[in-house]
């Protein structure tokens, strides 16, 4: 089996050269022990959030159920209630996109990607 360690797997800005060499050796030993190759994977392209929503940070808010109109036809939702629900869906998508991008950035910073 081949072993591959990319220098990108250890951040030179925060690790001195002897420590980096030691860490790269450990990674290579782990790769050999696992019978394969350990190398950083290519970065995942960040999601582009075109949802039109606003990220909720750490919370995805509950999405309101569209309410029926009052009058003869109570089976149809009102335009206003549908618009509220769509806004909440957009915000949920924006929140998820922000979190996925943050996870990708952390994996790149850790040298995993």
* 72 in the same domain as 99: yes
- 112 CB-near residues (< 8 Å, 6+ apart): 40, 41
pLDDT at 65 over 70: yes
Is 17 or 101 the better-scoring residue by pLDDT?
A: 101
* 53 in the same domain as 16: no
Q: How confident is the model at residue 74 (pLDDT cuts 50, 70, 90)?
A: low
In the three-class reduction of DSSP (H, G, I as helix; E, B as strand; rest coil), residue 68 is classed as strand
Structural domain harbouring 15: 1-40
Is 79 or 9 the better-scoring residue by pLDDT?
A: 79
* 66 in the same domain as 26: no
Pick the closest to residue 4 from 41, 26, 31 (CA basis): 31
pLDDT of residue 108: 80
* 21 in the same domain as 67: no
Is 56 or 13 the better-scoring residue by pLDDT?
A: 56
* 110 in the same domain as 82: yes
């Amino acid at each position: 089996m081949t072993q591959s360690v990319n220098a990108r797997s250890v951040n030179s800005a925060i690790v001195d050269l002897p420590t980096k060499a030691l860490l790269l050796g450990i990674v290579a030993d782990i790769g050999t022990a696992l019978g394969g190759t350990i190398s950083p994977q290519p970065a995942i392209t960040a999601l582009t959030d075109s949802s039109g929503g606003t990220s909720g940070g750490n919370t995805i808010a509950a999405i309101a159920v569209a309410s029926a109109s009052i009058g003869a036809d109570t089976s149809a939702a009102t335009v206003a209630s549908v618009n509220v629900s769509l806004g909440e869906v957009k915000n949920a998508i924006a929140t998820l996109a922000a979190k996925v991008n943050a996870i990708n950035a952390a994996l790149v910073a850790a040298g995993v990607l």
